[in-house]
Amino acid sequence: MDSILVRGNGALNGQIPIAGAKNTVLKLMCAALLTDEPLTLTNVPRLADIKTLSDVLESLGCEIAQLANGRVLALNATTLTSNKADYDLVRKLRASFNVLGPMLARSGEAIVSMPGGCAIGARAVDMHLDALERLGASIELKGGYVHATAPNGLKGAEIPLRFASVGATENAMTAATLAKGTTVIKNAAREPDTKALADCLIAMGAQIKGAGTDTITIQGVDALHGATQAVIPDRIEMGTFMIAPMIAGGSVELIGGRMDLIPSFAEKMQEAGAVIEETKLGLKVTNPGNGIKPVNVTTEPFPGFPTDLQAQFMAMMCFADGVSVLEETIFENRFMHAPELLRMGAHVEVHGGTATVTGVEKMTGAQVMATDLRASVSLILAGLRAEGETQVNRVYHLDRGYERIEQKLSAVGANIERVQGS
């Protein structure tokens, strides 16, 4: 099994290109099931999760071709050969559950395994199912599978979400595109990935208004058509690389970076002392050399502080001049990186959904283990400044969400390498 070796060796300087958004492209891929015409996606990141979801879609009859060295995906679901997404495939990637809405809307029937993914909390799917039931679907849970049927088609409805769930918003929105009548999703997720999905669906002929706000209105249409859609930049990769020069020192320009994708995070970075400038190519983040200021954060749905950047921000706060408090409100069990940071000399105390971080002058490299996708990269970030060598094991988590991270960091001066496992 591969590992990543990081040796703290000073400031980072240069440019890092930001890949297309993982959380966007996965949902756009699922949207291909809504039409019998081709959907072409550009600016696609080359990640393990793309292959996993491709396997799910191909099992349903979707044909997928990778073009332009994997940067373009051509999906063609002209004929769906199955309405069942098997456990062996879906368990590997939680986003696979978002085939449910499109399959149900197009075929009137879908059988989808309960999802898997990172072990960072229950992340129940009850809101997904409630939304589909409001649209007229009949739902049964049998043998670990969701059996959803709508033999007479779906009908528009009002869908009030008790929480601004990204997955539930997206499953409901995709299903509603082919429902008869008008659907209104209230307390909808406002994430850029959800807005990007709506933009893709509109390009395919859907009638959607309000995406990016807490109320989305969908007027159902009889059919969707093919389209070509570019994937937006990955705001989580962008935020991760914004933190890197603050920990290691230096100045890094993020090619394709956009402030509008991470407003609350950018504010917290500036509060910590980062200098952020918009450039012709993206964003430039500079550590002015005045130390890292302690900052308190609470994770919230967009436009609040992203839960997917909490672990990375904690790694930065480990070097702050004072005490920071990080409150996790989205997922339970999302402080699993804290014990690994402790192995490197961090001072972190976790009580339920709150972590108190007291900054230290130095940390020391150690053997650490990645427990989930974002935890893995937080350990790499800490290793950029730790004395000696940090070995991050079980980096298959990392490959699910970061494209060639060791190459991107090496290009700006980091001493980092991948060690091939046996």
* CA–CA dist 411, 358 (Å, integer): 31
Vertex 197, ends 297 and 329: CA angle to 5°? 20
Q: Is 308 annotated as a binding residue?
A: yes
Task: Write down the pLDDT at residue 26.
Answer: 96
Q: Quick check: 66 pLDDT over 70?
A: yes
Q: Is 23 annotated as a binding residue?
A: yes
pTM reported for the whole predicted model: 0.93
| Cα end-to-end span (Å), the chain | 6
Task: Write down the pLDDT at residue 422.
Answer: 62
Confidence of residue 93 (pLDDT cuts 50, 70, 90): confident
| Phi, psi torsion values for 116, nearest 5 degrees | -120, -130
Domains of the chain in sequence order: 3-18+233-419 (3.65.10.10), 22-230 (3.65.10.10)
The two beta strands, 227-230 and 39-42, are: parallel
Confidence of residue 58 (pLDDT cuts 50, 70, 90): very high
Average pLDDT over residues 94-103: 93
- Helices 22-31/192-203 angle, 10° precision: 30
Tokens, residue 213: 């706000």
Q: Is 22 annotated as a binding residue?
A: yes
Q: Who wins on pLDDT, 92 or 361?
A: 361
Confidence of residue 267 (pLDDT cuts 50, 70, 90): very high
Residue whose structure tokens are 């990186």: 337
Residues in contact with 346: Cβ distance below 8 Å, sequence separation at least 6, in sequence order: 318, 338, 357, 360, 363, 382
Q: In what order do the strands lie in the sheet with 12-17?
A: 12-17, 250-255, 282-286, 275-278
Q: Quick check: 398 pLDDT over 90?
A: no
Identity of residue 57 = L
Vertex 164, ends 51 and 234: CA angle to 5°? 40
Tokens, residue 313: 């921000």
* CA–CA dist 270, 287 (Å, integer): 10
Q: Is 43 annotated as a binding residue?
A: no
Q: Which residues are catalytic?
A: 118
State the DSSP H helix or E strand holding residue 191, giving kind and residue range, or none if neither.
Answer: none
Identity of residue 328 = E
* Residue-wise pLDDT tens digits, 171-214: 999 999 999 999 999 999 999 999 999 999 999 999 999 999 99
Q: Is 262 annotated as a binding residue?
A: no
Count CB atoms within 10 A of the CB of residue 409: 26
